[in-house]
Structure formats: C-alpha cells, structure tokens
Amino acid sequence: MDLSSLARPQALRGGSTGALGAHAARRRSVQLLRPRRPTFRCSVEAAKQQVQGTLAAEAEAARKECFGVFCTTYDLEADEKTKSWKKLVNVSVSGAAGMISNHLLFKLASGEVFGQDQPIALKLLGSERSLQALEGVAMELEDSLYPLLREVSIGIDPYVIFEDADWALLIGAKPRGPGVERAALLDINGQIFAEQGKALNAVASRNVKVIVVGNPCNTNALICLKNAPNLPAKNFHALTRLDENRAKCQLALKAGVFYDKISNMTIWGNHSTTQVPDFLNAKINGRPVKEVIKDTKWLEEDFTITVQKRGGVLIQKWGRSSAASTAVSIVDAMRSLVTPTPEGDWFSTGVYTTGNPYGIAEDIVFSMPCRSKGDGDYELVKDVAMDDFLWGRIKKSEAELIAEKRCVAHLTGEGNAFCDLPGDTMLPGEM
Ligand SMILES: NC(=O)C1=CN([C@@H]2O[C@H](COP(=O)(O)OP(=O)(O)OC[C@H]3O[C@@H](n4cnc5c(N)ncnc54)[C@H](OP(=O)(O)O)[C@@H]3O)[C@@H](O)[C@H]2O)C=CC1
Ligand SMILES: O=C([O-])CC(=O)C(=O)O
C-alpha cells in the first residue's frame, strides 16, 4: 500500500480534519483517533496523575480533533463525480455554536455559496463554554450527509481553526445585555477581534476573505484588520448585506412589486441606527426610486427608520435577534464576491476606506456600493449621485464610526482610547 497517497489524519495536522482535499487520489479508510490509554503505575499518586493526564489529553483531543465521520480519509478519484471538483476551500467560522451559524453552516455545506463542484472544509471555532454545543453542531453536519462537505474540525484556538482559511466568517461576539455600555461592548468584543486578527495574520491563507458579523461589526472589522498587517486590508468586510436586503424588502412593499425588481441598493456607513439606506441611487424596475415612489416624506422618514430599526423590531417579536435572515445575507455577501455582479447593479458591504472616491473619512470601515468580477475581490462604484440629504446622513454615520475608532485606539495600536460616543445611536437590534 502506498501510504503517501493517504490523507493525513487530523491529529497529525494539528487541528484540521483528515483529507487533504484537492483533486489528488485519497485512499478511503476510517481513522478515528483517540488518546492512548495510560500504562499502569503502582502508586495511588501516580494513578491519580495518570487519570488527570488522560482527562487532560481527552479534553485536548476534544478541542482539536476532526469530528466523527470527517476523520475518514477517502479516495477522491475513486468517485467519478469528484473528478470535476475544484480544490477544497477552507471556511473558518467563529461563534459556530450560535444562532446565526446554526443556519449558515448548513447552507455552506449544501453548496449554496460556492456551487455544486466545490468541496468544502468547515473549521468551527467555539469556546470552553460552547465546546459541547459545537460537537452537537458537528453531529448534525455529519447526519446531513452533504457530499461536498469533506472536512469538519472543531476547536477553541483561533490559531488552529484559522489555519489556511480561505474565508473567515467572524460571527462570535458577546451580545449587548441590559446595562452594558456601548463603550464596554466595543472593548470586550474588540479584544476578541484583536486576537482573531492576530491569529488570521499568522496562519490564514494570504488572500483570506474575512467577513465580520459580530457587532459592532464595522469597528470590529477595523480592529481585526489592524491586527493583521500582513493581510490585505481590502479583504476585510463588515456585514451590511442584511441591511441591504431589509431595504429592498421595504421598497418592494411600498412600490407593490416583488423584491427582485429592486436594484442598486446601497447601505452607507455603520451597521447601526445611523446607517443610510440610499433611495437616491436605488432603482425599481430600472427606474430611480423617487420616480416610482413620490412620497419623499415616507422615503426620508418611515423607510429610513424602518430599515435602521428593523433588527430591534424583530427582537421584540421573536425574543432574539435575526439569525436566519442574517445567515442568508452572509450567503448573499459571499456569493456577491464569487460571482460577477450583474451588469449595472452593485451590492453593499462595509470595507476599509482607503482612497475612496466619495470623500468619506479614510481609515474606517464604512459600507459602500461595490461590484465584483467574481474573483473574491471588488471595486467601489464610482458614479453615484449625492444630494444634501444623503450626504448629511452619511456624515452622521461617519462621525459615529470615527468616535468608535477613538474608543478602540488601544486595540488598533493607535495609542490611548478616548471614548465619547454619540448618545443617540445604537445597534440595529437595540430599541
Ligand atoms: N452584522 C449583522 O448584520 C448582524 C450581526 N449580528 C451579530 O452577530 C453576532 C452573533 O449573533 P448570534 O449568532 O445570533 O448570537 P448567539 O448569541 O447565538 O451566538 C453568539 C456566539 O458568540 C460567542 N461569544 C463570543 N464571546 C462571547 C461572550 N463574551 N459572551 C457570550 N458569547 C460570546 C458565543 O460563542 P462561543 O462561546 O463559542 O465563543 C456565542 O455562541 C452578535 O454580535 C450579533 O449582534 C446579528 C445579526 C445581524
Ligand atoms: O443588534 C443585533 O444584535 C442584531 C443586528 O445587528 C441586526 O438585527 O441587524
């Protein structure tokens, strides 16, 4: 047997799962790696130490090991179908035991983002508190029998879970509970994103695409990219696609059309209640929104506020924040980067403002209109209209992000933090 063609089992690779992916032939065998049993020792003390050692080894193994059936090595070439498959894509997800991930992971594994010829490895990041739940997630992934899902690993160390990541979906963040100051939340979550930025910088693919979902996502994305100086800042995104989708839905409802008739929808700014859903440039059936919806008061007030506060209203109804629709919007955001943007249209994403053509402050993460050739990269859309109303709103969101940035200076390597946040702004989910 030529052992060199065997996929290496996960434990030998320090935290990833069994197969090497790609096209190469992999021999099928099942290897479930378990910690070795201790040899017997004669003193009680030694026995105690041995048991403790075993428990520690088992805990360590549980943190690192590939999960169940995903430890299986396999022969890709033995399967006719897989011959046309692309190279394995590694997707790392934090907050993987949370509500959003519970929808998202199954979409990723089914091929919804990358298509039916793209095998996928899911690397799931949890914490001590969520490790058991993470095993439950992995069990459900096993039981779903997704042909494209070739590897699943679970762990609590970002330096292991982000290794070779082509995509990093950073969802895990502490939710803002009652009595938690916005400044305190920025600090607590900022620490998470600073550490994850460093880990990505050290071990991820050099062209990793990072989508920050955990709130406050724009400033978390800024912290993350500042802590990853060896990765292109351009590759970091803050998710504002849910806001775009919400805005499209509201315009469609008002105009009495199905939402596929809405295009060119920009969300400018922060994923917060200062966000700016842009009805000046958006189109309905290819016509400017203002030609179709003549009620300017509705556009400037009701529409804008409804989109800004949609998350909070949903929390009041559901008792928890948007999870399924957020997962859908993450899929949309990823697909927008891996498929060419339809002619004349664009999508919104929060990106690093360096050399932006609109005059928005540099060195923050701001949602803007983008187009992609489908290669994972994007360009800003240059020819957008601006009026006083739109610009005034944009400046308010910009001011909020600049204030947030000052508040996390200690996490971005820019000196002492000074926190003076505008009092009237909130996350979309806050009321
Ligand atoms: N940008 C957007 O459009 C949207 C963003 N969001 C944001 O996404 C994030 C995740 O939402 P959702 O999946 O619903 O949340 P959940 O509460 O279900 O999951 C959040 C995960 O965050 C992790 N976490 C990390 N640090 C902490 C901490 N200090 N305390 C508690 N949990 C922590 C937990 O995982 P573990 O223990 O494994 O670390 C937990 O599983 C939130 O920040 C939310 O505000 C939500 C909707 C839309
Ligand atoms: O505020 C939250 O946690 C939820 C959120 O971002 C949204 O619904 O847009």
Active site residue 271: yes
CA gap 151, 123 in Å, rounded: 8
CA 238 – ligand 1 centroid, Å: 14
Q: Which pLDDT band holds residue 67 (cuts at 50, 70, 90)? A: confident
Query: Is a pLDDT exceeding 60 seen at residue 41?
Result: no
Biggest distance spanned by C-alpha atoms of the chain: 87
Between CA 88 and CA 168 the distance in angstroms is 15
Pocket of ligand 1 (CB under 6 A): 95, 97-100, 126-127, 129-130, 171-175, 192, 213-215, 217, 239, 242, 271, 321-323, 326, 429
User: Model confidence at 420, in pLDDT bands (50, 70, 90)?
Assistant: confident
Instruction: Name the residue of 321, 367, 425 to mutate for ligand 2: max ligand atoms within 8 A of Cβ.
Output: 321
For 143-160, what is the mean pLDDT?
A: 96
pLDDT above 80 for 75: no
- Contact yes or no for 110/148 (Cβ under 8 A): yes
The best mutation among 102, 127, 430 to test binding of ligand 1, ranked by most ligand atoms within 8 Å of the C-beta, falls on 127
Which tens digit of pLDDT belongs to each residue from 260-308? Answer: 999 999 999 999 999 999 999 999 999 999 999 999 999 999 999 999 9
Nearest CA to ligand 2 atom 7: 311
> Mean pLDDT lowest for which of 228-232, 304-308, 341-345, 417-421?
417-421
- Of the pLDDT bands very low, low, confident and very high (cuts 50, 70, 90), residue 175 is confident
| Every domain of the chain and the residues it spans | 84-238, 241-412
> The domain 84-238 belongs to what CATH superfamily?
NAD(P)-binding Rossmann-like Domain (3.40.50.720)
Separation between Cα atoms, residue 339 and residue 335, nearest integer Å: 6
pLDDT of residue 265: 98
The C-alpha atoms of residue 49 and residue 21 are separated, in whole angstroms, by 39
Residue 8 has a pLDDT of 30
Tens digits of per-residue pLDDT, 190-204?
A: 999 999 999 999 999
- In the reported structure, the alpha carbon of residue 339 is separated from the centroid of ligand 2 by a whole-number distance in angstroms of 27
Mean pLDDT of 398-402: 97
Region 248-266 average pLDDT: 97
- CATH 3.90.110.10 assigned to domain 241-412? The reply is yes
Q: What ligand 1 atom has the least distance to the C-alpha of 215?
A: 43
Please give the distance, rounded to the nearest whole angstrom, from the Cα atom of residue 38 to the centre of ligand 1: 39
Output the residue whose Cα is nearest ligand 2's atom 5: 429
What is the pLDDT, as a whole number, of residue 287?
A: 98
Q: How far apart are CA 188 and CA 191, in angstroms?
A: 5
Pocket of ligand 2, beta carbon within 6 A: 215, 242, 311, 321-322, 427-429
Identified catalytic residue from 103, 237, 271, 410 = 271
